[in-house]
Amino acid sequence: MQVTRAVDYGLRALVLMARQPAGSRIFLHDLAQEADLPRNYLVKVLKSLAGSGIVRSHRGIKGGFSLARDPRQITLREIVEAIDGPVAVMHCLTGHRADGDCGNSGRCAAQAILAEVRDHILRDLESHSLHALTAAQEDYRARTAPAEPGATLSAVARSSEPAGM
């Protein structure tokens, strides 16, 4: 499994959102700027996350985006699947093949072994929450670049960039 750019952008945006006070909204422009993400691409990612009930889109002058649930209740699996669809390590293990079932189903050792690998990945993604990812990012940031008094959200976002978040 490879984490796509869309999932990377989604995780980076969600970590910034999770670090805000509960219930706060953040404008798309500010989120894109703080996370150093392309605005147009971020819109698509946030639309997928909103469609899956992970974020809320708020219209109007005081609009923006907010988390729809507590970060402790949002798993990494939900995030990945909201953005990229079902996790698969082999094309025939998605359950969404356009050309029907694999002709080797039940006779393929690779399929059987990689199904176990996929299940292990899913369990691991399910066992980690957005809250845990946010806490890990904060720990990483604290170890690599001690926060200065009065650091802004922009400085925090930029300092997390090298980690790929």
Q: How confident is the model at residue 113 (pLDDT cuts 50, 70, 90)?
A: confident
Please state whether the predicted TM-score (pTM) of the whole model is above 0.85: no
> For the chain, how are helix, strand and coil distributed in percent, rounded to 5?
60, 5, 35
To the nearest 10 degrees (0 to 180), the angle between helices 76-84 and 5-18 is 130
Average pLDDT over the chain, rounded to whole? 82
| pLDDT tens-digit map of 43-93 | 999 999 999 999 999 988 888 999 999 999 999 999 999 999 988 777 665
Per-residue pLDDT at 105 = 62
Nearest to 32 by CA among 48, 19, 45, 18: 45
pLDDT: is 147 or 4 the higher one?
4
Tell me how crowded residue 30 is: count the other CB atoms within 10 A of its CB: 15
| Residue 8: φ, ψ to 5° | -55, -50
Domains and CATH numbers, the chain: 5-86+129-163 (1.10.10.10)
